[in-house]
Amino acid sequence: MGNDARKSSVARPRYRLLDDGQIERIHATTLKILEETGVRVADPEGIRVLEEAGCAVEKEDIVRIPRGVVEACIESAPSRIDIYDRKGEPAMVLEGRNSYFGLGTDLPTTVDLETGEARRSVLQDVVNAARVADFCPNIDFIASFALPGDVPTNTMYVECFKAEVENSTKPIFFTAAGKDDLEYIARMARAVAGGMEALRQKPFLIHYSEPVAPLTHSKGAVDKLLFCAENGIPICYIPTVLLGASGPVTLAGGITQANAEALSGIVMHQLKKGGAPIVSGWAVVPLDMKSMTYCYGSPEVRLTNAAFADIYHHYEIPCWGIVGTDSHVLDQQAAMEHAFAELLAAMDGANLIHDVGYLGQGLLGSPASIVMCDEIVSYIRRFMKGFEISEETLALDLIDKNSPLKAPQANFLAERHTLKHFRTEIWRPAVCNRDMPDAWRKKGGKTYGQRVVEKAREILKHHSPASLDPGVVKVLAAIVGEARTGLEGKKFNA
């Protein structure tokens, strides 16, 4: 036995899908796509930076990126991104296998917390999601969650950002229609952080944007990508490949195509500003060949997520994660898919795990779903913590002391050792049932789904997020006012 009796170690769950040879093969095939097949870049500035770095441009917008350029950009992308909260306090260190969980954006329909009916999302749903998530201890970042149908379309992302920043201190993951509204959002963020340099130093926001499969960077996407690079706004630039529809049906082909899309995004971003913060990964998702829908809750999504986590850990670039369920209500399917997705994303070591609480194929939201997932993440965090193996935790003396020989009526409950460790060793749920059958019935015999709805209502009734400085609130209102005029009738680039 070589183990030093005094040494302490931690037993921690971990999971890796790809071995080194598999990573190398996918990487080499990706480089071949970039170097020989090429990608379409529908933006002159994107093409300019690529051409300047030595990429060949053909037929106006097809760009071939040499291996050396790709590898230099993987190298220059930072391996650690520090994200702060609205108050400038450290909130997330996107690095290594650190996992953070947060909301997703833009759900057009919301399950009303009072009526239980699905209806068109409104701005108040953005407010509600921010407040519920602000309360939930395991939700690390917020996002619009709802896509408000009751505000002008051209300013909806600007209005969402204001609603989010005013109703939670947590970091904000956000979308924009184009560079034009993104500029207004950046102005708001600067007002909150205390200026451009303060925001650059302590970003509390991450922009989300995406290319279009197969192998196409739209003008709008590149505009936003390069704007973020220049302005030091962290960006999550993520391709979506629908297996068998916008990419090969085989998982290996789908992820390799997606990797070419993701890496060409990183290349443009790093060429524009070396060292600028970018989070990568992909959504490689099955198209259900019967219902023709996008399957969030599928096992294939877990495999493709695990694959990018392994590859981006190898690249040493922070990666996102995607979770969510295809169920339209908080039923058994929702709980199953939420739990599998979030657990496996944590096991993957994904850094920025978003879409927590998503229902119905990314079309439906519910504040109660956020509460359900908060507890699932709490469970996962306990699981991922593992346990310590040391002299203290092995507790040999205690076992000996309470052995049948020495203590015929052994009882560990009154031991100091138990008192010292039980709170940290043993997880307790906040909403899950642990009552005996009669006690559970006496409390109304409610399901987990019913209890999370009640808890969400309670949170909205009683939780008040830390308020924003009234002077800043005024500035934000003024910027939104300007945006309403400035963006009226504006057509955003595809």
Q: Which parts of this chain interact with another protein (CB under 8 A)?
A: 42, 106, 108-109, 120, 147, 153, 156, 177-178, 212, 216, 218, 220, 242, 244-246, 249, 287, 289-294, 361-363, 491-494
Question: CA 421, CA 423: separation in Å to the nearest integer?
Answer: 6
In the bound complex, what is the minimum distance in angstroms from residue 175's beta carbon to another protein?
9
Residue with smaller CB distance to another protein, 32 or 119: 119
Question: CA 106, CA 41: separation in Å to the nearest integer?
Answer: 26
Residue with smaller CB distance to another protein, 220 or 234: 220
| Residue 137 β-bridge partners | none
Angle at 127 between CA 121 and CA 132, to 5 degrees: 105
Residue with smaller CB distance to another protein, 216 or 333: 216
Residue 179 near residue 218 (C-beta atoms within 8 A): no
Residues contacting residue 367 through CB under 8 Å, at least 6 positions apart: 113, 125, 128, 129, 132, 456, 459, 460
Helix locations, 316-436, DSSP H: 332-348, 367-385, 391-394, 396-401, 416-425
Determine the residue type at 257: Q
CB atoms within 10 A of CB 492: 16
In the bound complex, what is the minimum distance in angstroms from residue 107's beta carbon to another protein?
9
Residue with smaller CB distance to another protein, 94 or 363: 363
In the bound complex, what is the minimum distance in angstroms from residue 178's beta carbon to another protein?
8
Residue with smaller CB distance to another protein, 178 or 318: 178
Sort 249 into a burial class: Cβ within 10 Å, 0-12 / 13-18 / 19+.
middle
Question: CA 303, CA 105: separation in Å to the nearest integer?
Answer: 23
Residue with smaller CB distance to another protein, 390 or 493: 493
In the bound complex, what is the minimum distance in angstroms from residue 36's beta carbon to another protein?
24
Residue with smaller CB distance to another protein, 88 or 244: 244
In the bound complex, what is the minimum distance in angstroms from residue 116's beta carbon to another protein?
17
The one-character DSSP state at 376 is H
Residue with smaller CB distance to another protein, 246 or 325: 246
- What token pair was written down for 209? 């944007």
Question: CA 287, CA 178: separation in Å to the nearest integer?
Answer: 27
Question: CA 263, CA 6: separation in Å to the nearest integer?
Answer: 46
Residue with smaller CB distance to another protein, 247 or 349: 247
In the bound complex, what is the minimum distance in angstroms from residue 218's beta carbon to another protein?
5
Question: CA 247, CA 405: separation in Å to the nearest integer?
Answer: 68
In the bound complex, what is the minimum distance in angstroms from residue 389's beta carbon to another protein?
49
In the bound complex, what is the minimum distance in angstroms from residue 27's beta carbon to another protein?
27
Determine the distance from the C-alpha atom of residue 321 to the mean position of all C-alpha atoms in its chain, rounded to a whole number. 5
In the bound complex, what is the minimum distance in angstroms from residue 444's beta carbon to another protein?
34
Residues contacting residue 434 through CB under 8 Å, at least 6 positions apart: 428
State residue 237 phi and psi, 5-degree precision. -110, 105
